[in-house]
């Protein structure tokens, strides 16, 4: 069984992610991180803010700063749900596996391949995101939840390079990793950004998959139902 948990790196969802992992006892926990980000996340747990190197791509620095700003507004640390997944996995003796591409390299390729117009649209969007802050994030999450496919397609029209590099190609890379690990372990939990969930499921045809989406993690009633199912052993293979 593969359980894919869709998350958001700036939301207060560490507790439900931790609960699911601790109580479903996976043999392996797969996280949307590369080795460099894994080290940064786990070695600076006590740090208040990330120290972003100056030699990383500009688009990477801007994205990291924005995520940190939105996380701070939500009262959490960026990637806290990934850290919770890692710590919970270690606690129950699960293997922790990084399944993502190197983020810095991906963003470097984005910068190199973006057209002038796409770059301009992205710049204007970044200004808007920073101006409207948390409200913009909440509206985006709501729109995404209402019609995920349409939202992604609209994004693809406006930012074809971003969607191809950040979603499509990473989905293919992570799906290969997940499929490989699923051959080693019977019970696997995968923790990735919510926008990757459907794409990964489509690439993992033939495998038994259970999905938990970000909207469920953030909704008390939905999480209470999931907790009850786990407590009643309804999740056993």
Domain ranges of the chain: 2-231
Of 152, 136, 185, nearest to 29 (Cα)? Answer: 185
CB count in 10 Å sphere of residue 122: 18
**What mean pLDDT do residues 160-169 have?**
92
- Dump pLDDT digits (tens) for 197-225: 999 999 998 899 999 999 899 889 999 99
pTM greater than 0.75: yes
Of 221, 159, 224, 230, nearest to 195 (Cα)? Answer: 159
Distance, CA of 91 to CA of 106 (rounded, Å): 31
The band of 132, judged by pLDDT with boundaries at 50, 70 and 90, is very low
């Amino acid at each position: 069984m593969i359980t894919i948990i869709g998350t958001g790196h700036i939301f207060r969802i560490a507790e439900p992610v931790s609960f699911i992992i601790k109580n479903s006892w996976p043999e392996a926990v797969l996280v949307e991180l590369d080795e460099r980000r894994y080290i940064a996340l786990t070695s600076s747990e006590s740090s208040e803010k990330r120290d972003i190197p100056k030699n990383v791509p500009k688009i990477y620095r801007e994205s990291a700063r924005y995520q940190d700003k939105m996380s701070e507004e939500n009262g959490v640390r960026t990637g806290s749900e990934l850290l919770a997944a890692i710590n919970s996995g270690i606690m129950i003796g699960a293997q922790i596996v990084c399944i993502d591409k190197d983020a810095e390299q991906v963003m470097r390729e984005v910068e190199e391949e973006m057209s002038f117009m796409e770059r301009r649209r992205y710049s204007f969007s970044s200004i808007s995101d920073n101006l409207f802050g948390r409200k913009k994030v909440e509206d985006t999450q709501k729109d995404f939840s209402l019609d995920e496919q349409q939202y992604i397609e609209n994004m693809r029209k406006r930012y074809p390079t971003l969607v191809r590099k950040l979603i499509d190609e990473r989905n293919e890379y992570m799906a290969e990793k997940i499929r490989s690990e699923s051959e080693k372990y019977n019970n696997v939990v995968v923790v990735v950004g919510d926008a990757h969930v459907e794409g990964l499921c489509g690439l993992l045809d033939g495998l038994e998959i259970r999905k938990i989406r970000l909207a469920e993690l953030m909704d008390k009633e939905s999480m209470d139902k999931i907790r009850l199912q786990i407590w009643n052993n309804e999740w056993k293979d």
